[in-house]
Amino acid sequence: MATVILGLGIVGILWYQDQWSNSTQVESFSGREHPVTYQGVLLQEEDVRVVNNEHYFSMNYIKENIDPNIFWDEQTKAVVITTKDKVLTFPEGQVEAFVNGQPFSIRVPVEDVNGVKYIPVSPLENIYGIRLQSLTNTGVAILEKSGDMIQVGETVVQPEKVELTYFVRQEPSTQAPYVIELGQEAKVHIFGEEKGWYYVQTLDGLVGYLDKKDVQLEGITQITLEVEDKKRIPWSPLGGKINLTWEHVVSRNPDHSKISPMPGLHVVSPTWFDLVNGEGEISSKASLPYVEWAHQQGYQVWGLFSNNFDPDITTTALATYETRSKMVRQLVQYASMYKLDGINIDFENVYLKDKENLVQFVRELTPYLHEQNLVVSMDVTIKSTSERWSMFYDRARLAQTVDYMIVMTYDEHWASSPVAGSVASLPWVEKGLQGVLEEVPASKLLLGVPYYTRLWKEETDPSTGKVRVTSKAITMDTTDKWIKERNLTPGYDEKSGQMYVEYKDQADGATYKIWIEDEMSMKKRTELVKKYNLAGIASWRRGFEKPGIWNAIAETLEKKP
């Protein structure tokens, strides 16, 4: 009997607590002079600064929540913001900012407060598609972003209880103090649900909890704000995939009158521009007659810009906004002078520490090239654990900026490889391609293929029994000639997916091996372009191929499934 009485007592207490409502009112953002919220969540005090009614956000907040690519350039003491078609710089302490090098005025400057950079919000609104709505009656400011979806609710109407009001409470409980009292048909924005209560924000900017039974859902609204960023559709061949080849120019340009027809080709990319030093100076081997010839053939010309495979000058040239801008200005000038259609960025052998600066350079270069209606492409390797060969590429972020990315799927076995093997076996190529596709959209990716192979020589040291491996790169024609001179018959190598030939030289005792690049291997590589619906194919390089290669690639690219 005592147990029953005790149980009833507990139930009674719980019933009483549930019926009792706290009538104490508290402030929604106690102690905060200038509260700013995003989707009902209060921003940290250190992320917001308000001076003379002008709101600032910390650079850290912007980087973490709005623009991961915002950049601080220490040497010039400026914030750098890059979009698809603009480079904006906001020098610290100055009310003159710059867009693509042209000055414009802002009301208040970037400030440094105890080492934290604060950026005025007003000039950022059209750049990012954000809006900071300041509510004078409560002092709250609400941050909104274009594209945000917001669930709208309305407090329930009870005509028979016209005096009935609803309490927005500090916690999801009737015992919690309330923040504000709402009448019937009061609009709220709903940002969550907890213990049968909605987490809401009133139109006055105050936040708290409303009992679900007191709210009628009204639908979802989308925030639509103007964004200055222009949508860009990069060039592509009408109804087809890109077929590009690199033109290797060492010191002099080729005699284009001697270049045989290349059916199906869309783009030539001559290796014309090289980084000379850490000051950002660029040398040029560009040729206007070559460009005019290419255009007459219907080819686009994407001039290649290389860092000269020099990691040290690359570090220095990428380090500051001034040196990066110097490279940008030269490339824009060269592109105009030589009537180019695009720039192909080829940075290789770069220190891992320069990963962020390389992304920033590409982001600062691309808007200027797009302004001239130029196509921007960049070469990358497949993914690996090699810092200076692969890891310095932030493929995902670079792909957000450039029009196209070319993955160089060759050098599986390189010149000084300790073992002989294919330059690019088909399984290795496909696996590497799949890895890059985890970070780069197929619609932006071109498959880089080799027109060369390697003649491998294996010699056994009689005293140690160790095999010494050497190699040299050879063209397709040289491969055919070498095989024919020795009256050899290649066989199919299942492991590499290529034709293979091996020869034991009785004169020097060495064994020679070639994994052959030919029409068959190129068709297989081109089929990968179709299989993964890539943007196209790129070949290294013109002059290494046999004449029939062009038709083999073109026919496979154009072949309907």
C-alpha angle 70-75-79 in degrees, rounded to nearest 5:
25
Buried b (16+ CB within 10 A) or exposed e, 2-38: eeeeeeeeeeeeeeeeeeeebeeeeebbeeeebbbbb
d(CA 225, CA 128): 9
Question: In the sheet that 511-516 helps form, which strands lie side by side, from edge to edge?
Answer: 467-475, 452-460, 511-516, 498-504, 491-493
3-state secondary structure of 62: helix
From 1.20.1560.10, 3.40.50.9100, 3.30.230.10, 3.30.457.10, which CATH number describes the 36-144 domain? 3.30.457.10
Give the pLDDT score at 480. 98
Is the dihedral angle over the CA atoms 305, 310, 313, 316 positive or is it negative? positive
Every domain of the chain and the residues it spans:
36-144, 242-451+518-558
Neighbours of 298 (CB within 10 A): 9
Give the pLDDT score at 19. 55
pLDDT tens digits in sequence order for the chain, 561 residues long: 444 444 444 444 444 444 578 999 999 998 899 999 999 999 999 999 999 999 999 999 999 999 999 999 999 999 999 999 999 999 999 999 999 999 999 999 999 999 999 999 999 999 999 999 999 999 999 999 999 999 999 999 998 888 899 999 999 999 999 999 999 999 999 999 999 999 999 999 999 999 999 999 999 999 999 887 677 899 999 889 999 999 999 999 999 999 999 999 999 999 999 999 999 999 999 999 999 999 999 999 999 999 999 999 999 999 999 999 999 999 999 999 999 999 999 999 999 999 999 999 999 999 999 999 999 999 999 999 999 999 999 999 999 999 999 999 999 999 999 999 999 999 999 999 999 999 999 999 999 999 999 999 999 998 999 999 999 999 999 999 999 999 999 999 999 999 999 999 999 999 999 999 999 999 999 999 999 999 999 999 999 999 999 999 999 999 877
Cβ 273 vs Cβ 286: under 8 Å: yes
- 3-state per-residue secondary structure call for 69-105: CCEEECCCCEEEEECCCCEEEEEECCCEEEECCEEEE
CATH class of 242-451+518-558: alpha beta
Instruction: Report CA-CA distances (Å) from 165 to 158, 180, 215, 472.
Output: 10, 10, 12, 86
Instruction: Give backbone dihedrals phi and psi of 263, rounded to 5 degrees, phi first.
Output: -60, 135
Give the pLDDT score at 2. 46
**Residues contacting 114, CB < 8 A, separation 6+:** none
d(CA 2, CA 205): 52
The DSSP 8-state label assigned to residue 128 in this structure reads: H
3-state secondary structure of 374: coil
- Entry pTM: 0.92
Q: What is the torsion angle, in degrees rounded to the nearest 10, for the CA atoms of residue 439, residue 442, residue 445 and residue 447? A: 110
